[in-house]
């Protein structure tokens, strides 16, 4: 059986990308990390991919007149590499329903809060400022809505009296870097059941 191919989409720092690279190297994820697609030419994740010798394709969204034309370029790249799973890791772009529908149950995302609470780009800060005592990390399939779709894994993180926002951010990211590789491995092994239905790849 051929090894599955993963494509990571990222726009920024790339700490989750690095955790995925490590997990592939150490065999926690038994797949090829075929590709990084980055929509931001200035993103630090690009250097991380170059150092790890992962094929990197920069598709700068600002060079395209519409989301549709940007996504067509992305699809063109993916078509050439037999991608089994698309892993969003800090990808700061909302994918269109057309794109999402063309990869059913094959796009996953990590969100730094316990969905459906604290959706959006500032989830850690929003949870901290709200004053919740428990927040966490969610890995989910991507559907047509933002930060929404069947949950694959969740892990709670308690917010203690000593937590500052930077400390909480650090703690959440540490959990992400452990949970995301585990969730990716689970998806690739076809071991997930969503309300009784097996998800096959």
The set of catalytic residues is 111
Nearer to ligand GRF, 19 or 59 (CB): 19
Contact window for ligand GRF (CB under 6 A) among 5-13, 29-37, 66-74, 155-163: 5-13
Buried b (16+ CB within 10 A) or exposed e, 64-100: beeeeebbebbeeebeeeebbbbbbbbbeeebeeebb
Tell me the number of residues near ligand GRF by CB under 6 A. Answer: 13
Q: What angle do CA 190, 93, 17 make, to 5 degrees?
A: 55
Interaction pattern, residues 55-94, with ligand GRF; x per rule: CB under 6 A: ----------------------------------xx----
Asked whether the beta carbons of 170 and 15 are under 8 A apart, the reply is: no
Per the listing, tokens 């316990």 go with 114
Work out the number of other CB atoms within 10 angstroms of the CB of residue 184. 30
Contact window for ligand GRF (CB under 6 A) among 30-38, 69-77, 104-112, 155-163: 104-112
According to DSSP, the residues that pair with 191 across neighbouring strands are none
Interaction pattern, residues 11-40, with ligand GRF; x per rule: CB under 6 A: -xxxxxx-----------------------
Nearer to ligand GRF, 115 or 197 (CB): 115
Per rule CB under 6 A, is residue 149 in the interface with ligand GRF?
no
Nearer to ligand GRF, 10 or 31 (CB): 10
Contact window for ligand GRF (CB under 6 A) among 27-35, 67-75, 106-114, 158-166: 106-114
Nearer to ligand GRF, 120 or 160 (CB): 120
H-assigned helices in 10-93 = 15-26, 45-51, 67-79
Residue nearest to ligand GRF (CB): 90
According to DSSP, the residues that pair with 43 across neighbouring strands are none
Q: How far is the CB of 126 from ligand GRF (least distance, A)?
A: 13
Question: Which residue, 174, 147, 137, is CA-closest to 16?
Answer: 174
According to DSSP, the residues that pair with 38 across neighbouring strands are 10, 58
Interacting residues with ligand GRF (CB under 6 A): 10, 12-17, 89-90, 110-112, 176
């Amino acid at each position: 059986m051929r090894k599955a191919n993963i494509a990571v989409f990222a726009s920024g720092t790339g700490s989750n990308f690095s955790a995925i690279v490590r997990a592939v190297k150490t065999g926690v994820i038994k797949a090829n990390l075929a590709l990084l697609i980055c929509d931001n030419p200035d993103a630090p994740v690009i250097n991380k991919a170059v150092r790890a010798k992962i094929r990197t394709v920069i598709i700068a969204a600002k060079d395209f007149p519409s989301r549709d034309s940007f996504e067509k370029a992305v699809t063109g790249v993916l078509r050439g590499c037999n991608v089994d799973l698309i892993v969003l890791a800090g990808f700061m772009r909302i994918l269109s329903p057309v794109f999402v529908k063309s990869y059913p149950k094959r796009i996953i995302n990590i969100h730094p809060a316990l969905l459906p609470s604290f959706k959006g780009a500032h989830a850690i800060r929003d949870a901290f400022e709200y004053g919740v005592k428990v927040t966490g990390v969610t890995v989910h399939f991507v559907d047509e809505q933002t930060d929404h779709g069947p949950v694959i894994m969740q892990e709670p993180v308690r917010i203690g009296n000593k937590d500052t926002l930077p400390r909480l951010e650090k703690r959440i990211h540490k959990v992400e870097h452990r949970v995301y590789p585990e969730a990716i491995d689970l998806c690739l092994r076809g071991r997930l059941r969503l309300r009784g239905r097996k998800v096959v790849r």
